[in-house]
Amino acid sequence: MPDAIQILLVEDNPDDVELTLDALSTNKVSNKIHVVRDGAEALDFLFCTGAYVGREQLLMPKLVLLDLKLPKIDGLEVLRSIKSDPRTRRIPVVMLTSSRQENDIVSSYDLGVNGYIVKPVDFEHFNEAVRTLGLFWLLINEAPPSST
């Protein structure tokens, strides 16, 4: 049984993926990160469909970092799917996005998001934010028991 994925990063921008991974590794949050590049792939991963048929359904990530603006299925739709499915709704989802749009934030919380981080332009601030995020959700926060 492979190691459980700790973080699912949903991000279409490869630069952002690299920077996010850099920040996460710099802060030694986790090296068990799976990256998907759009909303559809994210859902396939979580629900073991499409390219992820055969993935062990019970091995859920401890955290989903979700970009808002995504190809195919956007972040809010992914969030809605996660939060409306009993299999996934307990997974903490943190929006990691460039958008400061109020209605995006409000919609996210309405859909049950667990955190909302506006990616700062300043990379130092971004590092700081990712570090805090990893600490809280992976180390401090008591994760819900995996459903069987």
Partner 1 sequence: MFMLGELALETQDPASHFARAQSARFLNALLQNSFDAIAVFAADGLILYGSPSTPHVLGYALSEFEGRNAFEFIHPDDQDGVTLVLSRSLQEPGVQVPVAARVRHQNGSWRWLEGIFTNLLDDPDVQGIVNNYRDFTARREYEESRKQVEEKLQYQADLIANVSDAIISTGADFRIITWNHAAEVMYGWSAEEVLGKSTLEILQTQYITEGLGEALREMDEKGTWRGEVTQRRKDGTRLVVFSSAAVLRDSEGNVSGRVSVNRDVTERVVAQKKLQETNARLAALADLSAVLNTVGPELDTILETIVHRVGDLIGDACTIGLISEDGEWIDLVAMYHRDPEGNTLIQRILKNRRVPFGVGLLGESAKYGKSMFEPVSSPIEYFPLISAEQRMRLKNVVAHSRLVVPLRVKNRIIGIVSLTRTQPDQPYTGDELAFLQDLADRTALAIENARLFDQVQHALEGRIFAEAEIRLLNTALEERVAERTAQLEAANKEMEAFTYSVSHDLRAPLRSMDGFSQILLRDHLSDLPPKAQRQLQAIRNNTQRMGMLIDDLLSFSRLNRQALKTQTFEMQPLVSQALADLLPDPPEREIEITIGDLGTCEGDRALLNQVWTNLLSNALKYTRAKPHPVIRVGCELIEGVQTYYVRDNGVGFDTQYYDKLFGVFQRFHRAEEYEGTGVGLAIVQRIVHRHGGKIWAESQVNQGTTFYFTLGDNGQAEG
Name beta bridge partners: 118: 97
Of 1, 2, 3, 15, which lies in the binding site for partner 1, with binding defined by CB under 8 A? 15
DSSP symbol at 143: P
28 binds partner 1 (CB under 8 A): no
Residues 31-60 contacting partner 1, CB under 8 A: none
Token output for 73: 């299925």
Of 2, 53, 54, 121, which lies in the binding site for partner 1, with binding defined by CB under 8 A? 121
102-110 and 75-84 are packed helices; what angle lies between their axes, rounded to 10 degrees?
Answer: 20
122 binds partner 1 (CB under 8 A): yes
Of 3, 53, 124, 140, which lies in the binding site for partner 1, with binding defined by CB under 8 A? 124
User: How many residues bind to partner 1 according to rule CB under 8 A?
Assistant: 21
For the CB of residue 133, give the shortest distance to partner 1 in the complex, in Å.
16
Tell me the CA distances in angstroms from 63 to 29, 67, 91, one per residue in order: 12, 13, 6
116 binds partner 1 (CB under 8 A): no
Of 34, 83, 90, 98, which lies in the binding site for partner 1, with binding defined by CB under 8 A? 98
For the CB of residue 37, give the shortest distance to partner 1 in the complex, in Å.
14
Phi, psi of 45 (to 5 degrees): -65, -50
CB within 8 Å of 96: residues ≥ 6 apart:
11, 20, 65, 66, 67, 117, 119, 133
Would you tell me which residues interact with partner 1 (CB under 8 A)? 13, 15-16, 19, 22, 68-69, 97-102, 104, 119-124, 126
